[in-house]
Structure 1
Amino acid sequence: MFLLPRTRRQKSEGAIYHVMIRSITEVPLFEKHEDKIRYLNKMREYQKQYGFKVYAYCLMTNHGHFIIDSNGADISKIMQGQNLSYAINFNKINKRRGPLFQDRFKSKIVDTQ
């Protein structure tokens, strides 16, 4: 069996990204309003640490969308830390184990022209 490598993520210093996250099928990421607040508060902490900007976001029950200006920061480090931290906290609160996110986050560079 051969495993194909992942497609390399497009990155550009100072780029603006459309970032998408999705939960595994049977688990709602943001079932309660408190879940959304917890995710956004954690994102504020990462904003202070990495200096990126969030221009817009939309959080639904099983997924979320963000428009993020990386401001020179590594989008992979931002989202990996954000989602790992949220998953650990979510699992602890909900007394569950295992993955919370379907896959690594998706991102596309937004054309600002």
Structure 2
Amino acid sequence: MPRKTRSWNPGDCFHITSRGNRKSNIFLDIGDYQMYLAMLEETQQKHPFFLHSYCLMTNHVHLLLETIETPPKVFMKHINSRYAMYFNRKYNLTGHLFEGRYNAVPVLGAIPLLNMSRYIHLNPVRAYMVSLPEEYPWSSYLSFVSNKPRKNVTTKTILQYFQESPRENYRNYVMLEHIRWLQAKDS
């Protein structure tokens, strides 16, 4: 049975995830994270899109992006197939690296966009990998709250919703949710 075609229009935003097959790790060392980011940047140059937020976890990837002229299936196929070939060659493996095709959830409107960016940046904290989002090196969080931008991350769209001191207010927005989560977990 053929897969259902995903709807897409230029300018659509998506929360895209790709998970390792059988929830296996897709990043085994620093070089793997660096290679994925390099391939993501190269893919973005070849098939332009706006990357609003990202987080590379050990066994999955979160991307919050906005399409321009290319549907997500084109650039996700490009990056996932290239990264899988790199990974299998490096570790002398065969077979599928990713569990099925990527998942893409439409993100409609400003509030869902802000909430999804915050969710992505809090992912390593909620997985108990770090205590604070700025401690995790494989996310776009520092691009939002410091003067260390990544050239392939577009922070302007999200930061525009924080009128005064956008970097500081975005940090507060993320940390307030983190505090709520900690309080709910402890109760």
TM-score (norm 1): 0.89
Report the number of matched residues.
110
1:50 paired with 2:47, answer: yes
Higher relative contact order (CA 8 A, sep 6+): 1
Amino acid at match of 1:76: K
- Give the distance between the partners of 2:11 and 2:60, measured in 1 at CA: 25
- Give the distance between the partners of 1:77 and 1:67, measured in 2 at CA: 16
Which has a greater percent of helix?
A: 2
Which has a greater percent of strand?
A: 1
1:94 paired with 2:91, answer: yes
Q: Spell out the pairing of 1:8-87 with structure 2 (5 A cutoff).
A: 8-25=5-22, 27-87=24-84
5+ residue gaps, structure 1, are: none
Larger Rg: 2
TM-score (norm 2): 0.56
Q: Deviation above 2 Å: which 4+ runs of structure 1? A: 5-8
TM-superposed CA distance for 1:40, in Å, is: 0.8
TM-superposed CA distance for 1:31, in Å, is: 2.3
For the Cα contact (< 8 Å) 2:19–2:98, is it kept in 1?
A: yes
Aligned CA-pair RMSD? 1.4
Local SS of the residue matching 1:25: helix
Amino acid at match of 2:21: I
TM-superposed CA distance for 1:26, in Å, is: 5.9
Q: 1:2-59: CA deviations, max 9, x gaps?
A: x4x4333231222111101001126310122211110010010011111111110011
- Give the distance between the partners of 2:72 and 2:13, measured in 1 at CA: 10
